[in-house]
């Protein structure tokens, strides 16, 4: 395959993140020499170790090697001088026929569906996706065909990407520190789509009604986006549908983590009311649903506490942890208890618990679950750790 980055030396701060680790793998495959730093070790670094990328783990960022180009993840932008993560992604997208998938919800799964079908149909794609895709062997692929990218509108940087095909799964107000209204989000996407040759708008599509391994109406909408996109690459529905039926999902997207003592345990990345509603609807039947929810970002919790509670009200029992701050500084009087208070007001008598730490949440789940229950840990932070703790305790 071509090596468009031959001779470049790239040093990445925050290389252990889902996005930066994928960019590092692709840049290495495209000829660059790559090194990096992160504050803690993450599972994404295992793939980089296998391809010989040198990584330093330390509390404080080291000085980059002399003469190397420095790219910095959003999480460390205030601590490390250098070019942004978005600038690196924009360059990677410019070097290959690319598909960029954006939208408030479903972009990870939709990107994965597209990459999976291209790979299984012999089109040798590359991909950069913000989660592990078990059937593809990771969150990054380095093939010579189409480049499939999961985009991110949270800081508007997606507007700088110029793919051949742009996909917007749906539009919602999810990033309250960036956008003042849904209308601003619509304007941003409208401007972006006007600057690319071909586009797919998920909200204009009928949900796919064929066989799928992944559950939920939201995944039928994701599948419709994937099929429409794959048709723009020259594939037909007749080629795509049998392959799409084999797609098993992405990590932390309705992921079944196991069963113990008659209790099924799932983990999901849902952190917005619409996502929580979709996940609980997909899991719902006559079994009790027990949820451990971790709010993500102070800004989202402050603006959407009542909406988050309304979505969680579909469960039988809910525990809520404190906010996972990610890139934000604490906001006075904004904690996960805002969601607890709203939920107890919306559903008087419902079993609702305020468990500030993930460990406390896992212990609470252990105390209330019974055979036949379905448990789901939900959120975009480290709440996924509770699933393994609960399964071990039940086992």
330 assigned to some structural domain? yes
Predicted local confidence at residue 316, as pLDDT: 96
What average pLDDT score do residues 347-358 get? 96
Are residues 153 and 56 part of one domain?
Answer: no
Residue 260 pLDDT grade (very low, low, confident, very high; cuts 50, 70, 90)? very high
Q: How big is the chain, counted in residues?
A: 395
Are residues 240 and 261 part of one domain?
Answer: no
Q: In the structure, how many helices (H) and strands (E) does the chain have?
A: 12, 17
For the ranges 77-81, 99-103, 199-203, which has the lowest average pLDDT? 77-81
186-245 per-position pLDDT tens digit = 888 899 999 999 999 999 999 999 999 999 999 999 999 999 999 999 999 999 999 999
What is the distance between the alpha carbons of residues 354 and 229, in angstroms, rounded to a whole number? 43
Q: Report the number of distinct structural domains present in the chain.
A: 3
Q: Which of 244, 266, 296 is the last residue of a domain?
A: 244
Does the pLDDT of residue 26 top 60, yes or no? yes
389 assigned to some structural domain? yes
Concatenated DSSP letters of 130-158: EEEEGGGTEEEEE-SSPEEEE---TTSGG
Are residues 120 and 195 part of one domain?
Answer: yes
Predicted local confidence at residue 153, as pLDDT: 79
Are residues 80 and 129 part of one domain?
Answer: no
Predicted local confidence at residue 152, as pLDDT: 81
Do the Cβ atoms of 42 and 21 come closer than 8 Å? yes
C-alpha closest to that of 265 among 350, 386, 360: 386
In the chain, the percentage of residues whose pLDDT exceeds 90 is 84
What average pLDDT score do residues 334-342 get? 97
What is the distance between the alpha carbons of residues 246 and 117, in angstroms, rounded to a whole number? 9
Concatenated DSSP letters of 322-377: --B-TT----TT-STHHHHHHHHHHSTT-EEEE--SHHHHHHHHHHH--TT-EEEE
The domain that holds 185 is classified in CATH as 3.40.1190.10
263-275 per-position pLDDT tens digit = 999 999 999 999 9
347 assigned to some structural domain? yes
Are residues 57 and 187 part of one domain?
Answer: no
Instruction: Tell me if residue 272 falls in helix, strand or coil.
Output: coil
CA angle 304, 306, 309 (to 5 degrees): 105
Are residues 75 and 45 part of one domain?
Answer: yes
367 assigned to some structural domain? yes
Are residues 237 and 112 part of one domain?
Answer: yes
90 assigned to some structural domain? no
Predicted local confidence at residue 67, as pLDDT: 94
What is the overall mean pLDDT for the chain?
Answer: 93
Higher per-residue pLDDT: 3 or 356 = 356
Q: Which of 85, 119, 147 is the last residue of a domain?
A: 85
Are residues 264 and 223 part of one domain?
Answer: no
Predicted local confidence at residue 340, as pLDDT: 97
The domain that holds 27 is classified in CATH as 3.40.50.720
Predicted local confidence at residue 155, as pLDDT: 73
**What is the residue whose two structure tokens read 């990033």?**
175
Predicted local confidence at residue 130, as pLDDT: 87
Are residues 359 and 326 part of one domain?
Answer: yes
Are residues 47 and 177 part of one domain?
Answer: no
Q: Which of 25, 54, 85 is the last residue of a domain?
A: 85
Q: How far lies 340's CA from each of 20, 253, 322, 334, in Å?
A: 34, 24, 10, 12
1 assigned to some structural domain? no
Does the pLDDT of residue 2 top 70, yes or no? no
What average pLDDT score do residues 161-176 get? 87
What is the domain extent for residue 58?
Answer: 9-85
What average pLDDT score do residues 240-259 get? 95
Higher per-residue pLDDT: 183 or 8 = 8
Residue 71 pLDDT grade (very low, low, confident, very high; cuts 50, 70, 90)? very high
Predicted local confidence at residue 115, as pLDDT: 98
Are residues 232 and 108 part of one domain?
Answer: yes
211 assigned to some structural domain? yes
Instruction: Tell me if residue 9 falls in helix, strand or coil.
Output: strand
Overall pTM > 0.75: yes
Does the pLDDT of residue 41 top 70, yes or no? yes
Q: 109 — phi, psi (to 5°)? A: -65, -40
Helix locations, 137-267, DSSP H: 182-193, 217-232, 237-244
4 assigned to some structural domain? no
Are residues 119 and 234 part of one domain?
Answer: yes
The domain that holds 281 is classified in CATH as 3.90.190.20
């Amino acid at each position: 395959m071509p090596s468009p980055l031959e001779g470049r030396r790239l040093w990445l701060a925050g290389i252990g993140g889902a996005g930066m680790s994928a960019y590092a793998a692709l840049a290495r495959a495209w000829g660059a020499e790559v090194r990096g730093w992160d504050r803690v070790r993450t599972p994404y670094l295992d793939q980089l170790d296998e391809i010989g990328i040198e990584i330093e783990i330390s509390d404080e960022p080291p000085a980059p090697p002399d003469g190397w180009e420095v790219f910095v993840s959003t999480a460390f932008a205030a601590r490390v001088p250098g070019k942004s993560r978005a600038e690196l992604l924009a360059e990677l997208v410019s070097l290959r026929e690319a598909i960029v998938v954006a939208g408030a919800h479903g972009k990870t799964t939709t990107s994965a569906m597209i990459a999976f079908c291209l790979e299984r149909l012999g089109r040798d794609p590359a991909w950069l996706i913000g989660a592990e895709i078990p059937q593809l062997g990771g969150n990054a692929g380095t093939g010579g065909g189409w480049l499939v990218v999961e985009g991110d509108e949270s800081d508007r940087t997606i507007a700088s990407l110029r793919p051949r095909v742009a996909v917007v799964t749906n539009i919602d107000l999810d990033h309250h520190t960036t956008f003042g209204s849904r209308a601003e989000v619509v304007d941003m996407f409208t401007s972006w789509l006007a600057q690319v040759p071909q586009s797919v708008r998920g909200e204009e599509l009928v949900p796919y009604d064929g066989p799928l391994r992944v559950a939920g109406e939201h995944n039928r909408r994701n599948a419709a986006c994937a099929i429409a996109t794959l048709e723009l690459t020259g594939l037909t529905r007749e080629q795509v549908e049998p392959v799409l039926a084999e797609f098993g999902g992405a990590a932390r997207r309705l992921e079944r983590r196991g069963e113990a003592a008659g209790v099924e345990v799932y983990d999901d990345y849902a952190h917005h009311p619409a996502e929580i509603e979709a996940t609980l609807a997909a899991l719902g039947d006559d079994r009790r649903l027990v949820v451990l929810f971790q709010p993500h970002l102070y800004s989202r919790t402050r603006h959407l506490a009542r909406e988050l509670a309304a979505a969680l009200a579909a469960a039988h029992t809910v525990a809520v942890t404190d906010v996972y701050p990610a890139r934000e500084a604490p906001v006075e009087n904004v904690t996960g208890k805002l969601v607890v208070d709203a939920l107890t007001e919306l559903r008087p008598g419902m079993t609702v618990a305020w468990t500030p730490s993930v460990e406390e949440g896992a212990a609470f789940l252990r105390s209330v679950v019974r055979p036949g229950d379905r448990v789901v840990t939900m959120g975009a932070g480290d709440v996924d750790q509770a699933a393994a703790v609960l399964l071990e305790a039940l086992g």
